[in-house]
Amino acid sequence: MTDLETRTAGRPGAPGPPGALRRAAPALLGYAAVRALGLLALALWSAARDKSAYTLLTARWDSLWYTRVAELGYGYEVRLPNGDVHSNLAFFPLLPWLERLGAAVSPLSYADAGFVVSLLASLAAAWGIFAVADHVYDRRVGGCAVLLWAVLPVGVVQSMAYSESLFTALAAWSLYAVLTGRWVTAGILASLAGLTRPVGLAVTAAVWVAAVVAFGRDRNGPDDRDDRDGPDHRDRARRVLGMLLAPLGAAGYVLWVGHRTGKGPLGYLDVQAGWRNGFDGGAAFARFVAAKFTSFPAALAGVGLVVGVALLVRLYVVCVRQRQPLPLLVYTGIVTVLALCASSYFGSKPRLLLPAFPLLLPLALGLARLRTSRSAPVVCAVAVASAAYGAFWLNGSGPP
C-alpha cells in the first residue's frame, strides 16, 4: 500500500449525505454550468446545420443499440455484407434496464429515459470524482478534478444516452467505498459497474487488490485470533463479502451470453469478434497510427495521436510518483490499457478513456495550487473550447 493510501485510511469518517452534498455543491454547480454550456453550443451549432441536437444525443450510434435492447430485449443483430455480425449482446444490460424502468414509470420514451439517466449519472459521477479527490487530497483539488473531467474535449459524451457516465459514477463511488473501508458497498457498486460495461473488471480488480493488501496488513498486525467476534473479524468478513460480490455482475452477464449463444463461457468474445473488436495488445492501433504518417496532412493527425498516448503514459507515471492509492492506480491502469489496446473502433478511444478520471488528479493538483484569479480564466477558456469542439464533433463524425 502506498504512503498516501496509508494516510487516507486513517482519516476520520466522511460526513453524512447532507454534509457531503453541501461540501460538493460548488463543484457540482461548476460541473452543471460547464455541461449546460456544452449543450447550448450543441443546440446552436445543430440548429445552424438544420439538425436536431436532441437526436444527436439520444438516437444515434450506440444510443440506438441501447434503446433497442430496452424495447425489444436481446437477440437483435445486423449482418453486414462482409460477413460481420453486429449483435446487441455486445451491449451490457444495466443502462437498457434503467431505460425500460424509466419508460415504465413515466411518459418518457426509452430514448428520453436514457438521456435522463445519463444526465443524472453524470452528476453522480462528478460527485464521486469529487469525493475521491477530496478524500485523497482536499476539497479544492476535488473541485478542480470535477471541472477538468467536465471540460475534456469529448465531455459532451457525458450528456449522451451512452453508458460512460453511468459507469464512471458506479466506478468512482466504488473506489471511494474502497478507500473508506466500506467493502460491501464497494462490492455491490463494482458488480453494477460490471453490468454496465466490459471494463467493469477494472473496478473489480481494484476492489480485490485493495482487499488482498488489507488482508496482508492484517497478517502483519497484532494477533487477534482470540477476538473472533470483534470489530476486526467483522471487517474481514465484510471484506470477503465485498470481494465475492464485485465480479458477479460482469461474470453473470458474460456467462449468460455464453449460454444464450451456445458457445460456453467465452461466447461473449465471439460476440465482440463479430464487431471486429478484441484485445490485441495495441498492435492494430499501432498500425493505424503508423498509417497516418504515409501522407500529408494525415501525418499531423498521427503526430497528435502519438503525443496523446505519450501524455496518457506521462500522466499515469505522475500518478504513480505522487503515490496515489493502489486501488486508483490499478483501476486507471486497466481502463487505460483496455482502451488503448482494443483492436477496433479507434475513433472511440477518447470516450473510452472518460472513466479513467484518476489520470486528471495530477492536473487537478497543479490547478488547485494556482490562485483563483489565474485558474478561473483558464478553466473558462477550456470550457468554451470543449463546448465548441463537442458541438463540431457530434455534428460531424461523432462517436462511433
Given 3-state DSSP classes, what are the helix, strand and coil percentages for the chain, each rounded to the nearest 5?
A: 75, 0, 25
Distance CA(305)–CA(375), nearest Å, equals: 27
Q: What pLDDT sits at residue 32?
A: 97
- Relative orientation angle of helices 248-261 and 200-220, to the nearest 10 degrees: 140
Q: Which of 60, 97, 72 has its CA nearest to residue 253?
A: 97
Burial 227-244 (b: 16+ CB within 10 A, else e): eeeeeeeeebebbeebbe
Q: How far is CA 74 from the centre of its chain?
A: 24
Q: 190 forms bridges with which residues in the sheet?
A: none
* Integer-rounded Cα radius of gyration of the chain: 21
List the pLDDT tens digit at each of the 400 positions of the chain: 444 444 444 444 456 667 888 999 999 999 999 999 999 999 999 999 999 999 999 998 899 999 999 999 999 999 988 888 899 999 999 999 999 999 999 999 999 999 999 999 999 999 999 999 999 999 999 999 999 999 999 999 999 999 999 999 999 999 999 999 999 999 999 999 999 999 999 999 999 999 999 998 888 765 554 455 556 788 899 999 999 999 999 999 999 999 999 998 889 999 998 888 888 888 888 888 898 898 888 888 889 889 999 999 999 999 999 999 999 999 999 999 999 988 877 778 899 999 999 999 999 999 999 998 899 999 999 999 999 999 999 998 777 6
- Neighbouring C-beta atoms of residue 371, cutoff 10 Å: 7
Q: What pLDDT sits at residue 164?
A: 97
CB-count exposure of residue 291 (10 Å: 0-12, 13-18, 19+):
exposed
